[in-house]
Amino acid sequence: MNFKDIFQKALNDESKVLRPFFIPSSNPTKLVVEETYLRLRLSRMFLKNRRELFQTKYPVVNALMRFSGLDGKVEINSVAKPEMAGDSDSSRLDDIVTLDQTLLGPVLYRGGDLELMLGLYAAPADDWAQRFINLAEEISQFVPNALLSTAVSITSTVKSSIESALSSDGLDLKLGLDKELDENIWLRSGHLIMISAPDAEIDSDTLTIKDGELINSNGKVYTDHNYILLEIEVTTQRSDWQSLGYGRLWNELLNTAAKSDDIQTVKDNYITFGGAIMSSVDLSWADRHAIVALAQKRVKEIREARAGNDFLDGIKGIDSIHALQETLNKLVNADAALVNESATTDTLSTLMQTDWIK
């Protein structure tokens, strides 16, 4: 049995599998294959009569997403486990909330639609609940959302755990979604909203989004029914590129540039870093280009600081040595944001040259 079959079995109450509403972003970014990134966030999960419900159960979200990857379809299963609000006592179930959790991404968009199956459940607050939390942690070990270089595989043990969890008699489906999100129609910048109520009771035209909350016509947070609020985020730049495993190489490159007297060692580190970035399948061409251009710029600044008058003066006085070290530390630890870096016109061969390193 695959994940989709498991979900279809779990979403067995068709009256609770809802038609979503869509509120587009006021400043949308259009999906472009190999140039934009896609992220799905669980912005808000709300269960009406929360305090009464939470005496025996709490909410959990399980989502299955299928989309185009580098080598065909990629399948991601995500469990949004509950979190405690602030410093609340863990024994107070009525304070458990789920807010702004990432279900997918960011991933480089490779075209096509995204199949989304999602369920909001009320889970029993007993030993089963802890098993579900453990399951979420197991999944996170097998499915790193940051790296999708190859199709994701889940062990049979985790699959069995998911099937067992979703088929539990104590798991109460509150609402569900089974929909293929069409490219640049449903799959675009904005928010998907599933509200557990008849269409006649929902004036969707009056609903708005403010600070990640669903707002009604009176300007208040919507609390009339059970609902899920999902954000679809489309971006042209991956600001968290260091989290893909390149942070260590970045730090090694800059520290070597600041400390090493051996020019060849610096060049070797630059080639290693640049090669890793340029061969990445998780980054767009614009981001790969921008990151290597930024590395080139930062290494130049560091080497020029070493070779400048401050370095020569440092031989004569301790204050100058400290000043130089402070300058180098700032350059090594400066923000690695890619703002405006993608505007560079350097070619790949130019970026990978090392004759400028002195």
Of 31-35, 52-56, 107-111, 299-303, which gets the smallest average pLDDT? 52-56
pLDDT of residue 110: 94
pLDDT of residue 146: 34
Using a 10 angstrom Cβ sphere, with 0-12 exposed, 13-18 middle and 19 or more buried, the burial of residue 218 is: exposed
List of E strands, 160-251 = 172-181, 190-195, 208-210, 213-215, 227-235
Quote the CA–CA distance of 66 and 76 in Å, as a whole number. Answer: 6
Write the CA distances from 93 to 54, 59, 328, integer angstroms: 6, 10, 50
High-pLDDT (> 90) share of the chain, %: 25
pLDDT tens by residue, 205-227: 888 888 888 888 888 888 888 88
pLDDT of 318 > 60? The answer is: no
Structure tokens at 129: 């609940």
Using a 10 angstrom Cβ sphere, with 0-12 exposed, 13-18 middle and 19 or more buried, the burial of residue 273 is: buried
Confidence of residue 328 (pLDDT cuts 50, 70, 90): confident
Give residues with Cβ within 8 angstroms of 204, minimum separation 6.
21, 193
pLDDT of 57 > 90? The answer is: no
With 0.85 as the threshold, say if the pTM is over it: no
| pLDDT higher at 304 or 155 | 304
Quote the CA–CA distance of 88 and 73 in Å, as a whole number. Answer: 41
pLDDT of 289 > 80? The answer is: yes
pLDDT tens by residue, 165-221: 555 556 677 788 888 999 988 999 999 998 888 877 788 888 888 888 888 888 888
**Percent of the chain as helix, strand, coil, to the nearest 5:** 40, 25, 35
